[in-house]
Amino acid sequence: MKKTWITVILLISAASWAPAQTVRWVKGNTHAHTRNSDGNETPRRVMRWYQDYGYNFLVITDHDMMTETASLDSDKNDDFILIPGLEITRSMDKLRVHVNALNPKRPVAASVVGQTVAQTLQNSIDAARTAGAIPQINHPNWRWSLTAEDLKGLSGVHLFELLNINRDSNNFAAGGQPGTEELWDALLSQGLAFYGVASDDAHDYLGDFFPDKAYPGKGWVLVRVSELTPEAVCAALDKGDFYASTGVELADVSVTKNSYSLAIKSLGDTAYTTLFIGKEGKVLKKEFGLNPSYSFAGDELYVRAKVISSAGEMAFCQPVFIKK
């Protein structure tokens, strides 16, 4: 009898001690290279860089190879994880078709170069999905490789690099060429759920400070999760529960049936402008201050939010499709 009571008390105690699942934003980079491909540091030192600078997760994505990370566990703190990954790397003459496979459960089969860029992309996306990974289309404007036409018929992919912080990535519109943001709106305007990632595609870690090097710490994602695991982070990425940033930090992103609202974290004297953007990239509303909000009219098709700071930093929040 006594024993039974002790068991009951232990069960109650265990339940009350279970940690509450707190939803929070975790910071990470989904694209980085090491000496295993064309990066210039060891996996351990690359991991240490991101951990030391306050990131919560990193995906090491060497070209067509999985970098082994289990041996790095002893260097990790409790609030940092390494997510397995690789960059599926295909070329079509001068064009580059690169797709990250985030958190594969099985080896990623070599994808076949197709007759068209779209086929090569789809083959790489399928190789990632078949391995249980989340695909991310990389640097679409590097060598002006990928167009909206190439991307619009794809299936099984939501993530693409809106900002790849490499000099040659051509993120911004100029010279009559569309930037990646125009590419994004072209896809969203067709009702396609693409989510914009910012990533370092880091290669250079040695602090020599040349403008054409690919350094860490320039572009990242903040992902909303209730636990810091590869599965939780990748699931949130794949459903667009994150924002991309080059410095603007948000306390909250709130979407209800009626509105899209942000809470921007204040930093010194920095001033902020938020644009709520809809079909064809049209600015639906422009608002100053730390708590911008947009009320849905119902006929927008989609609404996304972009924050620009007086420091030149940005945050891109993901599109919400409006169901009439």
Number of residues that bind Zn ion (CB under 5 A): 4
d(CA 188, CA 182): 10
Q: Nearer to Zn ion by C-beta: 44 or 143?
A: 143
Q: Nearer to Zn ion by C-beta: 161 or 300?
A: 161
Q: Nearer to Zn ion by C-beta: 205 or 276?
A: 205
Q: Which residues contact 233 (CB under 8 A, 6 or more apart)?
A: 26, 28, 57, 81, 83, 223, 225
Q: In the range 118-177, which residues lie near Zn ion by CB under 5 A?
A: 138
We find the least distance from the C-beta atom of residue 100 to Zn ion, in angstroms, to be: 8
We find the least distance from the C-beta atom of residue 202 to Zn ion, in angstroms, to be: 8
We find the least distance from the C-beta atom of residue 49 to Zn ion, in angstroms, to be: 16
CB atoms within 10 A of CB 91: 13
Q: What is the DSSP string of 268-309?
A: TT--EEEEEE-GGG-EEEEEESS--EEE--S--SEEEEEEEE
We find the least distance from the C-beta atom of residue 226 to Zn ion, in angstroms, to be: 30
Q: Which residues contact 49 (CB under 8 A, 6 or more apart)?
A: 41, 205, 216, 217
Q: Nearer to Zn ion by C-beta: 41 or 201?
A: 201
The residue within the footprint of Zn ion, chosen from 90, 98, 158, 306 (CB under 5 A), is 98
Q: How far is CA 232 from CA 23, 24, 237, 242, 245, in A?
A: 11, 12, 9, 12, 20
The residue within the footprint of Zn ion, chosen from 200, 201, 238, 300 (CB under 5 A), is 201
Contact 246, 313 (CB under 8 A): yes
The residue number with the shortest CB distance to Zn ion is: 98
Q: Nearer to Zn ion by C-beta: 138 or 245?
A: 138
We find the least distance from the C-beta atom of residue 31 to Zn ion, in angstroms, to be: 6
Could you list the residues that contact Zn ion (CB under 5 A)?
Answer: 87, 98, 138, 201
